[in-house]
Structure 1
């Protein structure tokens, strides 16, 4: 496991590295002060020059004197006057080139990423041509074509710097375009300019800011080099680069004529570089902090991982974890269960010596393999983790590099562990086998894997280092019941074959209780209880009465999609107003792809979709705005479906403006009404998504969809990332909206309890085909197809009944 880390202060003793954050801020402030001083000299210097830049004040290369404090240059002019007057052109040209490059690069990069196709190819090939030309050759050709002077140098500098900005912006834009909130904007009918300007550009701003600083450095370097070569301002103009070129032959006679402009150039470049480093290189993940070196007490005997009185708190002293005690022995599986915000994921990272930005370790001890993690320096902690631990993050989409094949993902770990290259094929096969995958996955990339397959690949990557401790953060949250059950079964097999200990973080108490040796419940940062198995009743399916006769609202006929193998193979469905269809099936069955085809975000290779009997274009961009507003998508991830740069009021209010018919002055009241409709306090309208819980974010996503005035809601796994209690609330909300507003709902889920609570009809999708369909009660009580029976059989029938932590003994002591 590789985590970037630095040390932060704790209140448990003096730190040897506690000043890193403060040191970085101090360096940034110092660099800013120097940069402002140099720019002030460059821009305001002419006002304070004691002589005209062409006025001879002494013999050439005269030493310092009262009339010429820095001596004279080769023409006898005052070096100080030329120095004060020679930086303005350089700084202003650098700023102008930077602004032009950032503006043109942002426009070209965003357009190429959004339009793709021949536009993307043309932009990239043009950038490749410019990058392939040597900078000196490009500078010379442009200056010859335009003539010597500032204008030609500025054009050349722009052409030299532009390709890199285009590529940086294009790559960042592609990443942002993959976010759910962008797809929602496209699906609701936003024009390309609005998508790029409202959804992409605000999130691109940090990238552009960092790139602008780098391009300014490049622009100053190119302009100064051009002046030194004689391409820029011509004598007798004052310019720092020109001063170096003019006076280099007199360096031994009058070094100040050369060294002073060189010094100012260096200060300009170095201060800019240090400022960029201070502003943009701050780590997002911090080490939990360490104390000054002290004799290390051995950890509890027999425990691979031991935690005593661990406390992690926010910067203002609020406890996120408080007085946590845990023990985990070799080969043992300990499940840590709790609702969102309980501190369970913070605990999983803290035991590895990591805390998120904004948190700090404030007390307690952690021993990993007998060594006190909090007493080791950064390098030793990383080495210890690499030799002992494997870590699997919650979201497999972000845990895997999208551009690397599966075998490359695993060999990256083997290379870091210095495993001989001859052993790589054997180790790759072993890791995949342990994770429950065959050799056929070796050459695949993540986009060709289902959610369950990605999770197993992430597990294989973690196993490549042969860890003795696996830390798994919500590994089953996005998996269907069959895949989740198989994954947990594989954990049992894995422990038996390798003796690996497992720390499993989850909010699904019923699932983990069937495989865990011990379960502890975390509540508000404390170990609140241990858990014992107890029967769990399955939810009773809601029985819908016979639907009223009505014309079909949404129909799909024989929808097919090939990639190149069939993902959907002739799927048909029909919904009337107020109907509900829950689509269930194992991971990789095509559920989300079907929803995307209905929304027009995936272009099917066959079949058609109709709304009110009228055909919908396969591509959402070819549909009318009214059609797009009538079919609204609610994405799966509550953390990626809302634009982090917008407030709740802006997110919910935008569809109102597209929909029209509501006066501008009345829109804030309508936003408040919609928030109340989904059970949110209208006071949340001024907050940004990061200030909301997962359940609140999902309700905002529902309010945004309702703001468009839809007839059909397409809900993609909207409860998968939520705790059971929160998920039940969201399901009840959708059921209520369906009844009250007459919405037709297509719900994609792997949670059969959602289908039971929503009622309506259920369609079981597997291998791109609907294997079984019918009323929810009938399908769930009397399944006919083997896939349906397997899904129902895999639903956990056990949950955990908590008991006070002080009544249960852990492996090495009490858990509280």
Structure 2
């Protein structure tokens, strides 16, 4: 084994990038827009003549009396231009404000209420969308009469339906975030959830949509004036001036061209300002790439090669510092390291992508012999499409939620111009290569109808459909149980044998990938600190970071505790069942916890673990069964539980990045549950927030930060502090370590164990990681196909499993598998 030498790299000067140019264009567009708005609003104050006064013969050329000449009635064109924009602009702003307000209310209501309310709102919107805009405008004007009022109403009806759909779609995405469900489980009222959790995150969408609707409003109002529907003569209006003077265009073109030009400039400036204010991600990312690549010969025979790669933050330290990396055809290379080590940045840069906020300053990456970081976007997309398949970390977001599995794959085949006759065979082959035993069944399912393991394999099948020579996997086993993860990684070995595909695997779990990788590269602080054969790195790491990863992968000791609830029963679940679409999700589940107890619910993906936790939290309504707290029945829906019951049962969601509202500070997030307590003053709440942050191992200085400035471990601790703020007796933890590095996850598990001991809180932990159950101790319940197959003390269940499902889970634990241990003894 050898350490990769890290060479100091000189930082090359960067060329001017796209964001400064975009900012310049935005400022120029804003200046022009403000000038046109000033002309429209303040112009009447500077008009030299009344708009109806004749100053010369009709269509007279420019003179000292009329600088821009006269119109068809002999009125001063300049005076009418200066006076003709105010009503147009004010009407456009008024219509935009009304449309955005109504769309926000209707769209949020449709997304929140769902059911018949959603259907009714969408059908009304569809009816309006189905009517041609000109016909709708004409019908409304005929019904209300010509004039600004009728035009404003018609314009609102034209613009409203699409805006409702935009707001509804954005609201649905926000409502799917964990922080909204936490607020619901906490017992927040509907108005509070929408106002505090949804609206702040909806604001950017509303702002962008308002700009688009303003453009539409100006266009419709001006068109109505041109058609004679809006402002009536002799009033001045830019659109009306174009209509009135079109016959004299050859005699006095300024009477038509000046108001038309002002309308055009108003629309173009608004459009450019919107583009600058809301740039697309692809444009922003491409603007960070340096195009003057170093003149280094591309390596031959290598599918992927990186030399001296350096990527920096804007004005900050390097994220990658002189990195070298090689990948040969057919090889499986694992890049491991903790969060922030630079592994994801390295892999993406090797594929030619530098994320927003970063810049490539030195070195080069060759993909199939092409300098990926020096190619324009079009050539880079073609190169990646011909060489690579990419599987994102979370298949829930990687797969389109409305498409079936076969449709997801055929989209790729269509883009590769594969003939339609080959689609069925290629779809089945891709699904089989991904390890799905019954591809014909899975092909017709949508993502929400699949387990986590199935979603991960479908995402893999989508990538394999293009028959790539390089497969890039980003944390593919992150949210999978041990059995499913082991099977997925085993399939990679089979896949390489069948296709000869090279694999670049990103992971923070060294033990999980060591069993399948040819080589392992360990990253720390933006550098490669160790690389070599997988067995050598696992058995004899030479770097400090490598030793830390191996230690984190070791199988933890199991805490032995007596079985059964300690003292009186606190939370009791009897014969809980839930059926969806005639399919049982939970069947006859019974649990019993006392004060300070810990229960770890484990099982393969799709067995119903999270559903069980959601039933306890009142977010999913069970079909039958009974849930009791202190021998008092808990209502199936959290909204029907009394405030004390809601405070006593608190949920900590799975994803630390989705469980905190990105628009709220840590102090606001943790302090919100305290707001329900009337006996605390503002100063007392602030002191309580600081105390809670200290209790979960965070400094009070983090209170003013937004979640975006926190690491994954810090976010999870904030989520725990928020749950503790309510003063719970039962803590429901849903896969709270699945998105964390092993060392960070161990710290969070230790924190939960300490809080349980110090505060006497009963803890129910849903996890696919049996090492979490081993560290927590207490009892373990093994769930499979919605039923509890085995339960007992963690020490007994994990060391002497009795059920086949339990034995398979224990045998697949990465630490034991990598060392070849027999963990079933």
What is the TM-score of this pair, normalised by structure 2?
Answer: 0.93
Q: Distance in 2 between matches of 1:517 and 1:293?
A: 31
Equivalent residue, structure 1, for 2:62 = 64
The answer to whether the aligner puts 1:475 opposite 2:476 as a matched pair is: yes
Partner residue, 2:509: 508
Map residues 607-686 of structure 1 onto 2, 5 A cutoff: 607-686=625-704
Superposition deviation, residue 145 in structure 1: 2.6
- CA contact 2:621–2:636 (8 Å) conserved in 1: yes
Q: Deviations over 1:435-484 (max 9, x none)?
A: 11132100100111111111111111111111111111111111111111
Alignment partner of 1:556 is 2:552: no
CA contact (8 A) 1:590 1:765 kept: yes
Task: Tell which has more relative contact order, 1 or 2 (C-alpha 8 A, sep 6+).
Answer: 1
| Residue 248 (structure 1) aligned with residue 249 (structure 2) | no
User: Would you say 1:782 and 2:780 are equivalent positions?
Assistant: no
User: 1:273: how far off?
Assistant: 1.1
Is 47-56 or 652-661 further displaced after alignment?
Answer: 652-661
Does 1:708 pair with 2:726?
yes
Structure 2 counterparts to residues 323-472 of structure 1, below 5 A: 323-437=322-436, 438-439=438-439, 440-472=441-473
Three-state SS of the structure 2 residue aligned to 1:456 is helix
Pairs within 5 Å for 1:90-109: 90-109=88-107
Tell me if structure 2 keeps the 8 A contact 1:629–1:659. no
* Secondary structure of residue in 1 paired with 2:537: strand
Q: Is the CA contact (8 Å cut-off) linking 1:513 and 1:798 kept in structure 2? A: no
Of 625-634 and 50-59, deviating more is 625-634
Q: Does 1:300 align with 2:291?
A: no
Partner of 1:495: 496
Q: C-alpha displacement at 1:551, in angstroms? A: 2.6
In structure 1, what is the equivalent of residue 545 of structure 2? none
Q: In structure 1, how many angstroms separate the alpha carbons of the residues matched to 2:508 and 2:336?
A: 5
Report the Cα distance in structure 2 between the residues aligned to 1:129 and 1:387, rounded to whole angstroms. Answer: 44
Aligned length: 789
Distance of 1:385 and 1:306 partners within structure 2: 14
Name the CA shift for 1:87/1:511 in 2 (closer, same or farther; >3 Å): same
What's 1:224 paired with? 222
Give, in whole Å, the separation in 2 of the partners of 1:117 and 1:624: 26
Moved more, 446-455 or 767-776: 446-455
1:404-453 deviations in whole A, cap 9, x for unaligned? 11011111111111111111111111110111113210010011111111
Distance 1:513 1:718 in 2: 24
Q: Give the SS at the match of 1:542.
A: coil
Q: Tell me which of 593, 601, 604 is aligned to 2:619.
A: 601
CA distance in 1, matches of 2:167, 2:405: 27
- Give the Å deviation of 1:140: 2.1
How far did residue 547 of structure 1 move?
A: 6.3
Partner of 1:88: 86
| Corresponding residue for residue 162 of structure 1 | 160
Which position in structure 2 is the counterpart of 1:484? Answer: 485
Counterpart CA distance in 2 for 1:97 and 1:126 is 19
Correspondence list, 1:6-85, <5 A: 12=12, 18-85=16-83
Contact 1:638 1:698 in 2 (8 A): yes
Q: Report the counterpart of residue 281 of structure 2 in structure 1.
A: 283
Kindly provide the CA deviation profile for residues 235-266 of structure 1, in whole angstroms up to 9, marking residues without a partner as x: 11111111111112222221111111111111
Q: Distance in 1 between matches of 2:349 and 2:729?
A: 46
Q: Give the unaligned 5+ runs of structure 2.
A: 1-9, 540-549, 820-825
In the TM superposition, residue 301 of structure 1 has moved relative to its aligned partner by 3.0
Aligned partner of residue 589 in structure 1, secondary structure: coil
Q: Distance in 1 between matches of 2:213 and 2:65?
A: 39
- The equivalent residue for 2:520 is 519
| d(CA) in 2 for partners of 1:552, 1:660 | 30
Report how far residue 302 of structure 1 moved: 2.5
> Which of 173, 196, 199 pairs up with 1:198?
196
Going from structure 1 to structure 2, the CA distance change for 1:674 and 1:19 (only over 3 Å counts) comes to closer
Aligned partner of residue 633 in structure 1, secondary structure = strand
Q: Are 1:298 and 1:370, in contact at CA under 8 Å, matched by a contact in 2?
A: no
SS at 1:797 equivalent = helix
Tell me, yes or no, if the aligned pair for 2:14 and 2:361 is still in contact at 8 Å: no
**Contact 1:717/1:748 (<8 A) preserved:** yes
Measured in 2, the distance between the counterparts of 1:394 and 1:428 equals 22
Using the alignment, how far apart are the partners of 1:385 and 1:205 within structure 2? 35
How many angstroms does 1:542 deviate by? Answer: 0.7
Contact 1:761–1:775 under 8 Å retained in 2: yes
Secondary structure of 1:639 counterpart = coil
Q: Please list every run of 5 or more consecutive structure 1 residues that lacks an aligned counterpart in the other structure.
A: 1-9, 802-816
Q: 2:558 is matched with which residue?
A: 541
Alignment check: 8 A CA contact 1:338 1:522 kept: yes
User: How many Å apart are 1:660 and its aligned residue?
Assistant: 3.7
C-alpha distance in 1 between matches for 2:126 and 2:344: 44
Alignment of structure 1 residues 121-132 onto 2, 5 Å: 121-132=119-130
- The question of whether the paired residues in 1 share the 8 Å contact of 2:560 and 2:777 is answered with yes
